[in-house]
Structure 1
Amino acid sequence: MTGPIEIGQVGLGAWGKNLLRNFIMLNQCHVKVACDIDATQRAKASEMFPGVVITNKYEDIIKDDKIRAVVIATPPAMHYQIAMEAIRAGKDVFVEKPLVLSIDEGKSLVELAEKNDRILMVGHIMEYHPASLLLKQYIKDGILGEVYYLYSSRINLGKVRDNENSLWSFAPHDISLIIFLLGKFPKRVTATGSYYIQKGIEDVCFMTMHFDDKTMAHVHVSWLDPHKERKLTIVGSKKMVVFDDTKASEKIWLYDKGVDTKLDYTTYDEYMSLRIGDITIPHVPSGEPLRFECMHFLDCVKDHKHPRSDGDDGLQVLSVLQAAQNSLEKGGAPIEVLKIS
């Protein structure tokens, strides 16, 4: 097909507006219809995006034969039903993280997309961040050496959710990024957390992923913290690197630091030696990661190619999330992560 890709979007909340803004700005597509059940959100969207038809029924998008792709940015509990109907209607689908709320529903969507030969892409935005791509290249090229462990923090004060805890709201970003960078899947997770504002909805969570080769990855998420941090640290045998996404520039700092061992030694001091070298701040291409993510989806629809963050990727993250939630409910007990192939 020639011409812009006709798309429809379901969900116009805070993140939905960001998605809609990006898709509208891209020449590869035309946003024909957008939907939200909330009258206030519809009114705001009509004012912000006057060229888009705004409706309160997502069925208007599903039934429109001219719409080739559907973007879903609703609360997660609605993802499965809308995505299922869109795929059955022959449309390609972009769904925000998390893919769905249960592994069974996730498997069903992935199988349905494969059966109907449709694109199913999950909004794991960190996989499209230029800094993430540079970090992955560092690991691939052996710049960091053997990756020992990683730790991330995604914390701030607000916005407090009432339909999901901080684990499900924030951690998908870090889980997807860590799996993407390492190219492997955790064997076991532990998670602890607590609620202070709303009963039963954890405001803060600490999760650790354990891999077969002793690599560990720790994730701290919270919307009840005085600091705003979006930071990832990777410690390797050769070098260490810090990615700070709150910085406008200089997002990556590469440290030539580590502990070297000597083969010819007589005392413990000679055996272990600290290495403190230079700090390198590489250039990271500018641009909004969400825009790159939206462009990737449109490219996949246009060329009918497999997305980087496909349904299987969404299932992997979902499997880790469910194991972490299980551990959280059991006071931090280690839980084996179900490997979904």
Structure 2
Amino acid sequence: MSKKPIIGITMGDAAGVGPEVIVKSLQHKEFYEQAHPIVIGDAKMLERAAEVLNIEIKVNKIDQQAVLAETTFGEIECVDLDLLPADLPFGEVSADAGDAAFQYLKTAIELANDKKIDAICTAPLNKEALHKGGHIYPGHTEILAELTNTKDFSMMLSSPKLKVIHVTTHMGLIDAINRIEPERVYKVIRLAHDTLTLSGVKQPKIGVCGINPHAGENGLFGNGEEEEKIDPAIKSAKEEGINVEGALPADTLFFRAQRGDFDIVVAMYHDQGHGPIKVLGLEAGVNITVGLPIIRTSVDHGTAFDIAGNGIVDDGSMVEALRQAIELAPEK
């Protein structure tokens, strides 16, 4: 049997650009040379995407027991759940598409738990559609955590110049600040350290953002959140030999990190971490959930309903997500 990893690619919300970025990215021969890519979704949506993109490709329908089969460049192997109508409208919120996106991911998790795939790479879902489909989650990360019974996890965004890991993500800013506690900050620092160490970085340099402007500037801004919520976590991490610095002003920390002063930044809340990554370029960003028993990478963009079905989507983020899934997949 081949030792190449099997990468399960979930289709996400098929009313968006997910099927298009999958078909387009699988025109890169390197993914067939380095791995076995398997799509979990609806075969007819892939065929429709290929037509929109004006790409000739054969889609092979397979069942969950056949994912160990060889893959061939120029063909796409699809675990076909056959959940959606062929005329699903592009660019519209749909309960059917939201439920299907959940089922694709659930199936991929089951395949990973059964060791039939070695990593999961996800195309984007739409949160409103997901909720309409009966699945009340903020996003992929929380679904993965619940279905794998994982308590300590975090979202890591990775680009060629910057890596960011989050203490909190999908919640309002006031709720996020209330949720930030020393134990959680410590666990995310630890996840950052362990993840980079496993990827080959020796003694990774970790920079931790403050919450307030200028990281509070010794009590000038805020109500002592840095001293209460962040400093104890940094102290604990340093006592364990982790190379960590903070709390630091976020506005300069991200500049220093992309310059090379730090290997990763610990962000306190969603927009604090997402903004700098997305300024550097959506096409290069990859979303990685760390702390799971399953390797999971994802595009760092949404469903792009405004351009779905037009055949103009950029596949750069999916290409990078697939590359990192292959790189992170466990060796056989």
Q: Which has the higher contact order (CA 8 A, sep 6+)?
A: 2
Fold in common (TM above 0.5): no
Short-chain TM bin: 0.3 to 0.5
Higher helix share: 2
Q: Larger Cα Rg: Structure 1 or Structure 2?
A: 1
> Structure 2 length as normaliser, TM-score?
0.36
Higher strand share: 1
> Structure 1 length as normaliser, TM-score?
0.35
